[in-house]
Amino acid sequence: MDIKLASRVEQLPPYLFARISELIAQKRSEGVDVISLGIGDPDLPTPQHILDSLIEGVGKPEHHRYPESDGLPELRAAIARWYKKRHDVDLDRDTEIVPLIGSKEGIGHLPLCLLDTGDVSLITDPGYPVYEIGTMFAGGVNVRLPLYEQNGWLPDLSQISAEDANRAKILWLNYPNNPTGAVADLGFFERAIEWASENEVVIAHDLAYADVTFDGYVAPSIMEVQGARDVAIEFNSLSKTFNMTGWRVGMAVGNSKVIDALTRIKTNLDSGIPQAIQEMAITALDDPRDSIEAHNDIYTSRRDRTVAVLRELGLTLDVPAASLYVWAKLPSGESSSADYAGRLIEETGVVVTPGASYGEFGEGYIRISLTTPDDKLDEALRRLREFAMGS
């Protein structure tokens, strides 16, 4: 039988990090000692006291049954406390918060809430691929907003055509940014909210890297801006903040109508986060920031060592104030990020992510993740330094 797949699957490109994992496996099968600086998955463990909460929760019989798609009321209350403590934002736990099985799940489902066939989703380029893929699954049309270094990697909303603005239903933003590490201030969010209000577009802000910050920088939430609830929702995650990528806990907060729609989508498609994991999330959210600050000290040291070596390779970059990444412009004379990354793995066994993987405006750059153990990172940097000397 010749099975014909749906066109949305036929059009689907391989997920970026799946391709990187395949490349790593191939090189290792060839005997290459590969060190990956490609995927932003924290190598640091979930803090022990958070794990202890999970262990205790696993033993409770009430947690062995189906959870609720909209999460435990206690978790929604903990998320509200976190936003009040961290951002001085008051959220209604019953109408303005929905827990997610990782923020990626909610990001992928949001277009199903807002887009009909042919509606436009405005996505920043370079950007996280799931914004684009979720739109495609919902039958929407992606319109790319180019991000340029000279603009601080912020989109110029004034350049959106009247036609695109009229068809648009979602504007995706992500600061601190993946992949560039760029940050945005409240002034930018104020302008974005004003534009969205004028054009009746929902802003979806991805705040996954809010608490991976350096040198005293404090990342704002778009919900801190007056009027945000009228036009915006925000995705957040415990993955990077508490090194909990494997436990899959995130959240969406903000506009109550959109939160209700996302909750209804989830109710029909999943059964929520396991309740023992919700209890560990409550422990994480209610704790002091000691573990966050300790982790960020480690990332700061890794960032500084990485920046120094990348500059030796002739790459140019701004020192990031946040995120798990260093975004670097290729040396003079280099034009293809894929070719450059390919040469690095062939000659050094070090994997970096080509900037073009994040969109056409990411071409000419590479992304380096800071989530590799220190001994492996130092070995990777040693190899890159030797590569620089031999180039």
Rounded Cα distance between 214 and 326, Å, is: 13
Q: State how many domains the chain has.
A: 2
Taking only the tens place, the pLDDT of each residue in 151-176 is 999 999 999 999 999 999 999 999 99
Tell me, yes or no, whether 2 lies in a domain: no
Query: Where in the sequence is the domain holding 16, given as residue range(s)?
Result: 7-45+290-390
Taking only the tens place, the pLDDT of each residue in 238-262 is 999 999 999 999 999 999 999 999 9
CA angle 365, 367, 372 (to 5 degrees): 155
- CATH number for the domain harbouring residue 75: 3.40.640.10
255 & 294 share domain: no
Q: pLDDT at position 85, please?
A: 97
Tokens of 68: 């609720």
Look at residue 364 and give its three-state secondary structure: coil
Taking only the tens place, the pLDDT of each residue in 257-276 is 999 999 999 999 998 999 99
77 & 217 share domain: yes
Tell me, yes or no, whether 54 lies in a domain: no
- CATH number for the domain harbouring residue 356: 3.90.1150.10
3-state secondary structure 100-167: ECCHHHHHHHHHHHHCCCCCEEEEEECCCHHHHHHHHHCCCEEEEEECCHHHCCCCCHHHCCHHHHHH
Q: What is the mean pLDDT of residues 311-330?
A: 96
Look at residue 368 and give its three-state secondary structure: strand
Residue that wins the pLDDT comparison between 22 and 330: 330
* Non-local CB neighbours of 261 within 8 Å, separated by 6+ positions: 113, 114
What is the rounded average pLDDT for all residues in the chain?
Answer: 94
Instruction: Say yes or no to pLDDT of 14 above 70.
Output: no
Rounded Cα distance between 88 and 85, Å, is: 6
Tell me, yes or no, whether 58 lies in a domain: no
Tell me, yes or no, whether 266 lies in a domain: yes
Q: pLDDT at position 24, please?
A: 77
Tell me, yes or no, whether 56 lies in a domain: no
Domain boundary among 233, 251, 286: 286
208 & 224 share domain: yes
* Non-local CB neighbours of 263 within 8 Å, separated by 6+ positions: 69, 70, 98
Instruction: Say yes or no to pLDDT of 132 above 70.
Output: yes
Rounded Cα distance between 89 and 80, Å, is: 8
Tell me, yes or no, whether 76 lies in a domain: yes
337 & 363 share domain: yes
235 & 87 share domain: yes
Q: Which long-range contacts (CB under 8 A, 24 or more apart) does 373-379 make?
A: 373/43, 374/298, 374/301, 374/302, 376/35, 377/35, 377/37, 377/302, 377/305, 377/306, 378/305, 379/35
Tell me, yes or no, whether 281 lies in a domain: yes
280 & 298 share domain: no
Instruction: Say yes or no to pLDDT of 23 above 80.
Output: no
Domain boundary among 232, 256, 286: 286
Per-residue pLDDT band for 26 (boundaries 50, 70, 90) equals confident
Domain boundary among 252, 286, 320: 286
15 & 107 share domain: no
214 & 298 share domain: no
Distances (CA, A) of 86 to 210, 219, 309: 10, 10, 34
258 & 301 share domain: no
Q: pLDDT at position 58, please?
A: 93
Torsion of CA 265, 271, 277, 279, to 10 degrees: 80
20 & 157 share domain: no
Cis peptide bond upstream of 176, omega within 30: yes
Q: pLDDT at position 15, please?
A: 60
Q: What is the mean pLDDT of residues 280-299?
A: 95
89 & 145 share domain: yes
Taking only the tens place, the pLDDT of each residue in 177-196 is 999 999 999 999 999 999 99
Instruction: Say yes or no to pLDDT of 205 above 90.
Output: yes
Instruction: Report strand pairing: 232-237 vs 202-206.
Output: parallel
Quick one: how far is CA 6 from the chain centroid? 28
Tell me, yes or no, whether 1 lies in a domain: no
Per-residue pLDDT band for 388 (boundaries 50, 70, 90) equals confident
Instruction: Report strand pairing: 35-36 vs 350-351.
Output: parallel
Per-residue pLDDT band for 19 (boundaries 50, 70, 90) equals low
| Strand segments (E) across the chain | 35-36, 97-100, 120-125, 141-146, 168-173, 202-206, 232-237, 250-254, 325-329, 350-351, 353-354, 365-369
Tokens of 296: 């960020």
Q: What whole-number percentage of the chain has pLDDT above 70?
A: 98
96 & 169 share domain: yes
Q: pLDDT at position 338, please?
A: 87
